[in-house]
Amino acid sequence: METYDALLASISPASGTGRTILDPATGEAVGEAPIHSVEDLEQAITAAQAAQPAWAALGHDARSAALLKAADAVERSAEELARLLSREQGKPLNGPNARFEVGACAAWLRVAATTPMEPETVVDDGETHAELHYKPIGVVGAIGPWNWPMMITVWQIAPALRMGNAVVVKPSEYTPLSVLALAKVINEELPEGLLTVVSGGRDVGARLAEHRAIGKIMFTGSTATGKAIIKSSADTVKRLTLELGGNDAGIVLPDADPTAIAQDLFWGAFINTGQTCAALKRLYVHTDIYGAVCEELAKVAAAMPMGNGLDENNVLGPLQNKAQYDVVANLVEAAREAGARILLGGNPDTSQPGYFYPATLVADIDNNNPLVTEEQFGPALPIIRYDTVDEAVEKANALDVGLGASVWSANRDTAREVAARLQAGTVWINKHGAVDPRIPFGGAKQSGYGLEFGVEGLKALGVPQVING
């Protein structure tokens, strides 16, 4: 285990040769990230191609053992990783934030390592014996986002490595230090060249997506970028797993208890200060309990401290970058001008440093308002009134995205009936955004395709091969 300063120094380029990364809470320098080029990417891919065959030949048991050791290494450096993540991304140490994210990295490594993956006998009738196997793809390219940079990187690399692949990672330009540090720790337990982070710009990402030596791209990010990756990967017929934008709906049925669900509603929407693809981003509440839900949710939100992530008292942090801050501020202001009622927040203090936007609840808003129809990706939740369940379902399904959704009710059977009508990859009951490394996760419609997590996630990082005879 290294100290925080030693860990940061180990991933930093020579002084003055890198790109300075700023803390979104203070504007202060966190450190310098290397500026990798397309030539650096080519070297990483060449090294990955050289390392991959021996790694694949080890078999599942040996690869799993290495991943379990990598999980131990992450836990040994957990506090140093969490501090760096907090400073670079902005999320607080406490709450479902930085320490939580680092802990999730270890958990996902362990589940990827221990999920059974045996050949499947598909026919055995005495005449025909057919088995389905999954072989390594080769080299996988992983392109990650800035909101959960460590955790989502592990979602990509852990199953890829378990299945015998090498991985080249291209992190977000906003949060490269977190990913570089995580890979440095994991690489303590992996062969050289098997896992490489290339901290470059868009040219690096574009080249990774089109490169002939890359057999699969895993991408988490916007739908627009996902579409560009689809196009650039077409000539080499790459396999793709795309977890794209979402605008998740939640439906509160009239039998729900507003007080009982308020805390879970809040965290469903405001986890990571709203900067989560599968966060609750538009809430439909039956007219009978609309006022009560608004009141209870406002009580919970008002009590949540926001500030510098290194302050142990805070559970909400800044938005990670100015561009995202402007998106949230503009959408809330447009809703206000359109006549929506601001229950809480909507009044950022621009005299202080940092991209802090207060937790904001917006009521009495039209369903066609941009704050409802566009993904705000920040701490602003529109609450829309409905009269019938059919109306709520229709509104929830109206958009061209469908990553997640939720139904809130005192009757689980009723909630499941409504859930089955929603067009989303995952529908949660009385919670939202609760991903689990054992449970498949993926989007519907323009929220992407392909599954991650569990045995289905492992299969997605292999090439299916049927042996018939």
Cα–chain center distance at 245: 10
Distance, CA of 390 to CA of 40 (rounded, Å): 54
DSSP letters for 42-61 = HHHHHHHHHHHHHHHHT-HH
Identify the active-site residue in 75, 105, 210, 277: 277
SS3 state at 30: strand
Say if residues 115 and 65 touch (Cβ distance below 8 Å). no
Instruction: Name residue, tokens 């509160």.
Output: 252
Nearest to 371 by CA among 332, 398, 345: 332
Token pair in block for residue 209: 């997506």
Q: Count Cα atoms within 13 angstroms, Cβ side, for 381.
A: 31
Distance, CA of 469 to CA of 463 (rounded, Å): 19
Is 243 annotated as catalytic? yes
Residue type, 396: A
Write phi, then psi, for 135 (nearest 5 degrees): -100, 155
Instruction: Name residue, tokens 């040994």.
Output: 76
Is 210 annotated as catalytic? no
Q: Which residues pair with 239 in a beta bridge?
A: 216
Distance, CA of 339 to CA of 336 (rounded, Å): 5
Distance, CA of 220 to CA of 448 (rounded, Å): 9
Query: Active-site residues: which are they?
Result: 243, 277
